[in-house]
Amino acid sequence: MDRVIIFDTTLRDGEQAAGGTLNIQEKLEIARQLERLNVDVIEAGFPISSPGDFEAVRLIAKEIRAPIICALARAHPVDIDRAWEAVKEAEHPRIHVFLSASDIHMLHQLKKSREQILEMSHDMVVRAKKYTDDIEFSPMDASRANPEFIYQVLESVISAGATTVNIPDTVGYAIPDEFGRLIEGIFQNVPNIEQATVSVHCHDDLGLAVANSLEAVRQGARQVECTINGIGERAGNASLEEIVMAIKTRNDFFKLSTGLSTRQIYKTSRLVSELSGFSVQPNKAIIGANAFRHESGIHQDGVIKMPKTYEIMDPRTVGIPASSLVLGKLSGHHAFKERLAEMGYSLSDEDLNRAFKAFKELADKKKRVTDRDIESLVAQELRSVSEVYRIDRIQVTCGDRGIPTAAVRLIGPDGEVLEDAALGTGPVDAVCKAINGLVDVPNTLTEFSVKSVTEGIDAIGDVLIRVESEGVTYTGRGADTDIIFASAKAYINALNRLLSAKKAAG
């Protein structure tokens, strides 16, 4: 097999990243983009974990038709039954069963013997097989387990009907050479291994998730489990874009391929970043802001003469335009639409008109509007589609000798005009207090951060706010050249998400 199966677990393991909770509609939006990206498998969630996760998996299974839709389940009957209920309407359903296999997990967490683990693994795969032929099994913490025991477990579950066996480096402990030897040993010591696809699932605790995954591929693994932007539990998972582009760029070395539409990578990365609230660091490989930027004069000279001198990939292959079209206040609707198309956005007429209006307002404030400014605007306008409250006007007074004061006017759910004013410890605090006086929903502000979208004194400020209500965290984003206004947008965005979630829950 000369093709590597890309198993995306952004919606399951990726969502486990602290503070990365997604609602049902956000999960569906990401799943649709993953389908455009042409991933082979979408692990849509862990249905037994909560009613919301069950509904998200069930909705994705109904809506997304091309990829395999996978649901995670512990090696318990109720988990497996619930997983099947969630994915049974999928065009291509899969149940993914997992059970710890390392001595440290068996002794301290499960308090079970190796014999019991073998029996449970076999029996639960048999149970899952009654529902669907596509069964995956993972011996959790395999990289710290006894290799001989892993061989036994894999032989048993394959004989029970598992069609994919996944080798997890659950805590990111492995070093590439030893992880490669584990995969090599599996092929040499599991008699029926040819009846299943060997998969790997690596974590990045030592920064080696991608390296371990690629070494496993070199040793014969033909499925890689990964996430967009590498998000996930603790330090994250193997990064999908790095895995895919390493295989594509170094085809001379791997002599393998994936089925991904790589031009969708950047757009997918931005969507996951916007909805999860996790910014992509500038030096992130493939999709970071600096991935295709050159500061050194020597590098600039080389790239101008021949891009390949310092760029091993054409940025267009991952969906980043190779050239930058400068837009300003004199640019028209058509030029703006064309620029969005080059950047991978296909908006409805309503969304396009709203984004264009925001662009013209920004262009009046800035001489030069960059691609990153446009991305920020488009993401913000798309987020505002289901607003319950929207900002009409904000007036702030502050200074080192005065008391920060904010007056806010909102448009409510039925179009009513709502006004209030408040004092605060600073201008942002005053604005949030004034908004709270109008939007009567108890919440606690748990995170507030600001970053510049571009360089310069007139740069857009991108504000991220997280609020907590009844134990659930809601993320809001806002962008504007005025940081106070951007903060208000982010706070309203978070409150609108909170209100929409409460309404959906009845």
96 and 227 both lie in a single domain? yes
Domain closes at, from 382, 403, 429? 382
Q: Give one DSSP letter per residue of 224-291, joined into a string.
A: EEEBGGG--STT-B-BHHHHHHHHHHTHHHH--B----GGGHHHHHHHHHHHH--PPPTT-TTTSTTT
Q: Which long-range contacts (CB under 8 A, 24 or more apart) does 185-191 make?
A: 185/147, 185/151, 186/150, 186/151, 186/154, 187/219, 187/220, 189/147, 189/148, 189/151, 190/151, 190/154, 190/155, 190/158, 191/155
Contact 138, 166 (CB under 8 A): yes
499 and 428 both lie in a single domain? yes
Give the pair of three-digit tokens for residue 380.
């913000």
Provide the CATH number for the domain around residue 121.
3.20.20.70
266 and 160 both lie in a single domain? yes
Give the pair of three-digit tokens for residue 452.
């510049």
The β-bridge relationship of strands 41-45 and 68-74 is parallel
Q: Give one DSSP letter per residue of 352-374, joined into a string.
A: HHHHHHHHHHHHHH-S-B-HHHH
Domain closes at, from 332, 364, 382? 382
In terms of C-beta density within 10 A (0-12 exposed, 13-18 middle, 19 or more buried), how is residue 373 classed? buried
Regions in the chain scoring below 70 on pLDDT: 1, 294-297, 299-301, 303-304, 322-327, 330, 342-344, 366-368, 380-386, 454-456, 458, 505-506
User: CB neighbours of 470 closer than 8 A, spacing ≥ 6?
Assistant: none
The pTM score is 0.77
100 and 181 both lie in a single domain? yes
Q: How many residues does the chain have?
A: 506
Helix count (H) and strand count (E) of the chain? 17, 14
User: CB neighbours of 424 closer than 8 A, spacing ≥ 6?
Assistant: 404, 405, 406, 430, 431, 432, 433
Q: Position of tokens 């974590």?
A: 203
33 and 176 both lie in a single domain? yes
pLDDT for the residue numbered 501: 78
133 and 93 both lie in a single domain? yes
Q: What is the DSSP letter of 385?
A: G
45 and 81 both lie in a single domain? yes
pLDDT for the residue numbered 500: 81
Structural domain containing residue 333: 324-382
In terms of C-beta density within 10 A (0-12 exposed, 13-18 middle, 19 or more buried), how is residue 294 classed? middle
Asked whether residue 121 is domain-assigned, the answer is yes
434 and 419 both lie in a single domain? yes
Contact 35, 259 (CB under 8 A): no
Provide the CATH number for the domain around residue 488.
3.30.160.270
pLDDT for the residue numbered 474: 83
Asked whether residue 481 is domain-assigned, the answer is yes
Q: What is the DSSP letter of 12?
A: T
Asked whether residue 301 is domain-assigned, the answer is no
Backbone angles phi, psi at 62, to 5 degrees: -75, -35
Task: Round to whole Å and give the CA distance between 6 and 223.
Answer: 6
272 and 348 both lie in a single domain? no
112 and 248 both lie in a single domain? yes
Domain closes at, from 382, 401, 423? 382
pLDDT for the residue numbered 236: 96
Asked whether residue 414 is domain-assigned, the answer is yes
229 and 125 both lie in a single domain? yes
pLDDT for the residue numbered 322: 57
Task: Round to whole Å and give the CA distance between 278 and 264.
Answer: 19
In terms of C-beta density within 10 A (0-12 exposed, 13-18 middle, 19 or more buried), how is residue 263 classed? middle
CA distances to 15, 412, 466, 489 from 443, in Å: 22, 19, 10, 16
Contact 467, 443 (CB under 8 A): yes
Task: Round to whole Å and give the CA distance between 282 and 201.
Answer: 25
Task: Round to whole Å and give the CA distance between 106 and 125.
Answer: 19
233 and 358 both lie in a single domain? no
Task: Round to whole Å and give the CA distance between 435 and 31.
Answer: 33
Contact 204, 230 (CB under 8 A): yes
Asked whether residue 293 is domain-assigned, the answer is no
Structurally, the chain folds into a number of domains equal to: 3
Asked whether residue 429 is domain-assigned, the answer is yes
Asked whether residue 420 is domain-assigned, the answer is yes
Q: Position of tokens 């916007």?
A: 274
Give the pair of three-digit tokens for residue 132.
């669907």
In terms of C-beta density within 10 A (0-12 exposed, 13-18 middle, 19 or more buried), how is residue 455 classed? exposed
Q: How many CB atoms lie within 10 A of CB 144?
A: 17
Chain segment 196-252, per-residue pLDDT in tens? 999 999 999 999 999 999 999 999 999 999 999 999 999 999 999 999 999 999 999
Asked whether residue 281 is domain-assigned, the answer is no
pLDDT for the residue numbered 325: 46
Residue 320's region, left for phi above 0, alpha for psi from -120 to 50, else beta, is beta
